[in-house]
Amino acid sequence: MALCVVALPALAKPQVISGVAYVIDGDTLVIRKRHIRLFGVDAFERDQTCGRFRCGIEARKALRDLINGRTLTCEKQAIDTYGRMVAICKISAGLDIGGEMVRRGLAVAYRSFSMRYLDEEAYAKSHRLGAWAYGFKSPLQYRRDTR
């Protein structure tokens, strides 16, 4: 009996939130008043440019276009230092929007937290997609330099 009680937390369903999202920037959105940060990706900051490419603005626009009024399902991975849910979010067709942002070259794999999107990043880099066509500072380095 004691074994069953110990095993129950491992069988618990992960926390999931679904709904239509409002996009804040290239890696942050809101569903039902809950701020959600995409897990394992770091998108370019809103005012960040990559050469002559406005990578921050384009990242936000691309995430908005990806979602385009569709229902998202986000599975919680963690809570960040700002109290936001950090989640893997997918549109109803099953497309992982964080991975797609990296694959398009509008975000990078956030190696400090996950190695999940390294293949998508390699694809964007090898095909010179998004910011990879212009050269850039990582969003993390950009934040460090501007704050």
Report the distance separating Cα 48 and Cα 55, nearest Å.
Answer: 6
pLDDT 10s digits, 20-57: 999 999 999 999 999 999 999 999 999 999 999 999 99
Task: Give me the chain's average pLDDT, please.
Answer: 92
- Would you state the pLDDT for residue 11? 60
**Domain ranges within the chain, ordered by starting residue:** 13-146
Q: Would you say residue 13 has pLDDT above 80?
A: no
Q: What is the pTM of this model?
A: 0.89
- CATH architecture of the domain formed by 13-146: Beta Barrel (2.40)
- For the chain, give the secondary structure using H, E and C: CHHHHHHHHHHCCCCEEEEEEEEEECCEEEECCEEEEECCEEECCCCCCECCECHHHHHHHHHHHHHCCCEEEEEEEEECCCCCEEEEEEECCCCEHHHHHHHCCCEEECCCCCCCCHHHHHHHHHCCCHHHHCCCCCHHHHHHHHC
Q: Report percent pLDDT > 70 for the chain.
A: 92
- Would you state the pLDDT for residue 10? 54
- Would you state the pLDDT for residue 63? 97
Q: Give the pLDDT band (50/70/90) at residue 145.
A: very high
